[in-house]
């Protein structure tokens, strides 16, 4: 059993009641399959390899001595601490599964939410670091010549890394050996270590894009005549960068003790970190590399008139880690995370390996030199599918809409899928390519990015990756195919706002259960404090309720937005409207609880207990709820189940939304409108 704390609680309940009442471990996705595709491999990593993730033997001993459980469920001190850690891991497994199925930004959001809560201990303090990336991209990037999504992209990169670690024994052994783990003996500890530091590397490698976007906007504005950037181009450069590259006295002392040498800036620390890992293999010195790094944000004309978002990602994450974790908590592995991020965009390719310069080109990066940098560059290149195109040129190019992977037998087979509706464009390109093949080939071959890079005989996509990272031990095979797009699979509705409001919505919905009838008396700050007292599972339950809200509003002819629009505002849902979306919310709740291992039952209400207050504690420890459903069921069975509920229980599926309409006004800007 991969969720050992759940199993332990199950045995305790068996002794209590003389019957197996749970909690039960949800089945692994794809159980019995080869596990070599992206989804099943990534989820198997979380389900099996991460057993015991974030367990605390100290908390367990304290619970045994005091007789008081220290874990949080709906309220603090309701379940054992390690049981909470198991449920947190199950939350991450489920949210990653949802994201891989959909690829939508709202599902990427909950993966980020899980990771921040689990490994940085907070969401609110770090939220803007990731939310603003999505907001900048969706609102500003359409003005650029070339730009595609980096928010959902980063979660795909995260999943790819988990899948490669799970399926590729050679990379796994290389990583474990590099960081001092004994293969097999330390399997679960090594996997937990990898999850934390790979998560920091992959999920935050592009958070610096809000600094690159304004730079590109200015260039795009002055490239209307399609002149190439270069001498004579107007461009932005950044100054007063100490807020990102500066290092406190405490940090200087901390890293002096760690590396036995002084650093006066984050750039100096990262330069040392890169040379420490790659200096001998690539013949680079700290002085020359530091000069390059320091001029990245201030002199983009030295680098082909390009701004390197990786510089901002690395320095921004450094400052965030110092604030959230504290300087003293930073380790040499955190420096590896930051240098991997700094290397991934252009620094390694054009200032270290010179991978496109035949006279200066150096060997591709080996995993054993810097495993995190190696994996980030590999996964960053592979993840080119299902990315929203914002830039003007990007929207006219042909990018894969989907991908299928087979990581079996130590290889990577990537099948990139293109939209069959683009077959005419592909046919025209292939005709031009055949004409070029039959010519003297004095000119460069025609291209239809990114299709041509994958489908042409030169296999530019694969060969470029081979120049960046050493694939000698991990053979890469690229195939393309076409199929019709399922445009309804994204479940895109008219409602829309920032992710800041998704959190506000969830906080407001939770407040309904505590303050119904007293909404006007409660401050937004109190609502957030209440929300923060719940476990990750219950917070996600409210957030996922919000994620479905646009679907419910669409069903009743309404939408929400944070922009001023000329439509009638909705102040309260009518009975007719609630009759439409209440069964939909009940179905979502049933399926979500089933996925998290909850079962139907009311033993927590009927059992003889010493104190009545223990009934809710017992419910959380059994993970049993009277409104759940057991066995196999479909939409029809859920609909019947809803109709059989009491009027009071049916109200639980719609009353929160009416209270939320009152509470949401405490947060700025978001309103609900009627289409008619």
Is residue 536 included in any domain, yes or no?
no
| pLDDT beneath 70: ranges in the chain | 1, 31-34, 123-149, 223-227, 388-397, 487-492, 494, 496-501, 513, 515-517, 519, 612-613, 663-669
Contact 598, 624 (CB under 8 A): yes
Three-class DSSP category at 629: coil
Domain presence at residue 631: no
Q: Are residue 372 and residue 419 in the same domain, yes or no?
A: no
Domain with 448 in it? 403-483
Q: Rounded CA gap, 540 and 538, in Å?
A: 5
What is residue 394's predicted lDDT score, i.e. its pLDDT?
44
Q: Are residues 158 and 297 in the same domain?
A: yes
Same domain, 26 and 67: yes
pTM over 0.85: yes
Q: Distance between terminal CA atoms of the chain?
A: 53
Rounded CA-CA distance 258/194 in Å is 21
User: Is 547 inside any structural domain?
Assistant: no
Q: In this structure, are 316 and 355 located in the same domain?
A: yes
Location of structure tokens 């025209």? 428
Quote the number of domains for the chain.
Answer: 3
Q: Are residues 68 and 142 in the same domain?
A: no
Note whether residue 349 is domain-resident.
Answer: yes
- Domain-located, residue 575: no
Residues 267 and 162 in one domain: yes
Domain co-membership, 153 together with 275: yes
* Cβ contacts of 464 within 8 Å, gap of 6 or more: 355, 381, 453
Domain boundary among 383, 416, 449: 383
- Report pLDDT for 132: 61
pLDDT recorded at residue 111: 95
Q: In the prediction, which pLDDT does 105 show?
A: 84
Other beta carbons within 10 Å of 242: 10
Looking at 96, 120, 138, the residue that finishes a domain is: 96
Judge whether 425 lies within some domain: yes
Q: Is 324 in the same domain as 438?
A: no
DSSP string covering 55-122, please? --HHHHHHHHHH----B-SSSSSSB-HHHHHHHHHHHHHHHHHHHHHH--HHHHHHHHHHHIIIIIS-
Same domain, 166 and 241: yes
Omega prior to 237 cis, within 30 of 0: no
Q: Tell me: do 121 and 201 sit in the same domain.
A: yes
188/322 same-domain check:
yes
Among 47, 68, 96, which residue terminates a domain?
96
Asked whether residue 295 is domain-assigned, the answer is yes
pLDDT of residue 238: 95
Q: Is residue 600 part of a domain?
A: no
């Amino acid at each position: 059993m991969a969720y050992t704390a759940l199993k332990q609680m199950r045995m305790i309940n068996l002794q209590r009641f003389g019957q197996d009442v749970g909690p039960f471990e949800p089945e692994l996705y794809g159980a019995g399959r080869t596990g070599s595709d992206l989804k099943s491999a990534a989820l198997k990593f979380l389900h099996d390899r991460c057993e015991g993730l974030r367990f605390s033997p100290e908390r367990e001993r304290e619970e045994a001595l005091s007789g008081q459980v220290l874990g949080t469920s709906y309220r603090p001190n309701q379940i054992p601490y390690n049981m909470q850690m198991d449920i947190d891991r199950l939350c991450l497994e489920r949210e990653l599964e949802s994201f891989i199925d959909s690829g939508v930004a709202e599902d990427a959001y909950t993966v980020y939410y899980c990771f921040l809560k689990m490994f940085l201990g907070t969401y609110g303090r770090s939220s803007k670091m990731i939310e603003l990336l999505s907001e900048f991209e969706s609102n500003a990037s359409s003005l650029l010549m070339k730009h595609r999504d980096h928010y959902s992209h980063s979660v795909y990169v995260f999943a790819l890394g988990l899948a490669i670690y799970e399926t590729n024994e050679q990379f796994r052994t290389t990583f474990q050996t590099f960081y001092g783990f004994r293969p097999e003996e330390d399997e679960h500890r090594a996997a937990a270590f990898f999850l934390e530091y790979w998560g920091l590397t992959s999920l935050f490698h592009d958070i610096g894009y809000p600094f690159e976007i304004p730079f590109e906007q200015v260039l795009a504005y002055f490239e209307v005549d399609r002149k190439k950037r270069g001498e004579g181009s107007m461009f932005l450069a950044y100054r007063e960068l100490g807020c990102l590259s500066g290092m406190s006295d405490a940090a200087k002392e901390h890293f002096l003790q760690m590396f036995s040498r002084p650093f006066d800036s984050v750039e100096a620390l990262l330069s040392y970190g890169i040379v420490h890992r790659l200096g001998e293999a690539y013949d680079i010195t700290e002085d020359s590399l530091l000069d390059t790094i320091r001029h990245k944000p201030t002199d983009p004309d030295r680098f082909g008139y390009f701004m390197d978002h990786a510089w901002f990602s690395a320095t921004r994450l450094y400052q965030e880690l110092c604030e959230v974790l504290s300087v003293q908590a930073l380790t040499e592995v955190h420096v590896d995370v930051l240098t991997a991020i700094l290397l991934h965009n252009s620094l390694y390719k054009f200032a270290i390996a010179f991978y496109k310069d035949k006279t200066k080109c150096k060997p591709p990066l080996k995993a054993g030199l810097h495993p995190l940098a190696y994996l980030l560059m590999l996964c960053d290149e592979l993840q080119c599918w299902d990315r929203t195109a914002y830039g003007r040129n990007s929207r006219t190019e042909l990018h894969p809409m989907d991908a299928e992977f087979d990581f079996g037998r130590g290889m990577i087979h990537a099948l990139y899928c293109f939209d069959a509706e683009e077959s005419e464009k592909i046919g025209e390109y292939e005709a031009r390519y055949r004409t070029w093949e039959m010519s003297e080939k004095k000119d460069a071959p025609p291209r239809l990015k990114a299709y041509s890079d994958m489908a042409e005989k030169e296999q530019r996509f694969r060969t470029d990756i081979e120049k960046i990272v050493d694939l000698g031990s991990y053979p890469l095979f690229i195939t393309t195919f076409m199929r019709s797009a399922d445009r309804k699979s994204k479940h895109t509705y008219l409602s829309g706002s920032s992710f800041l409001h998704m959190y506000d919505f969830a906080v407001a919905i939770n407040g309904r259960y505590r303050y119904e009838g007293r909404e006007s008396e409660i401050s937004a700050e109190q609502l957030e404090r209440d929300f923060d007292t719940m476990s990750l599972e219950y917070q996600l339950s409210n957030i996922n309720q919000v994620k479905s809200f646009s679907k419910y509003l669409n069903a009743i002819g309404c939408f929400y937005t944070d922009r001023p629009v000329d439509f009638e505002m909705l102040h309260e849902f009518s009975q007719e409207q609630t009759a439409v979306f209440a069964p939909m919310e009940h179905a979502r709740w049933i399926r979500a609880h089933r996925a998290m291992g909850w079962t139907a039952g009311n033993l927590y209400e009927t059992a003889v207990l010493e104190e009545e207050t223990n009934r809710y504690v017992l419910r959380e420890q059994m993970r049993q709820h009277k409104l759940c459903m057991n066995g196999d069921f479909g939409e029809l069975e859920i609909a019947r189940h809803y109709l059989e509920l009491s009027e009071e229980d049916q109200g639980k599926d719609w009353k929160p939304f009416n209270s939320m309409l009152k509470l949401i006004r405490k947060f700025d800007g978001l309103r609900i409108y009627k289409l008619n």
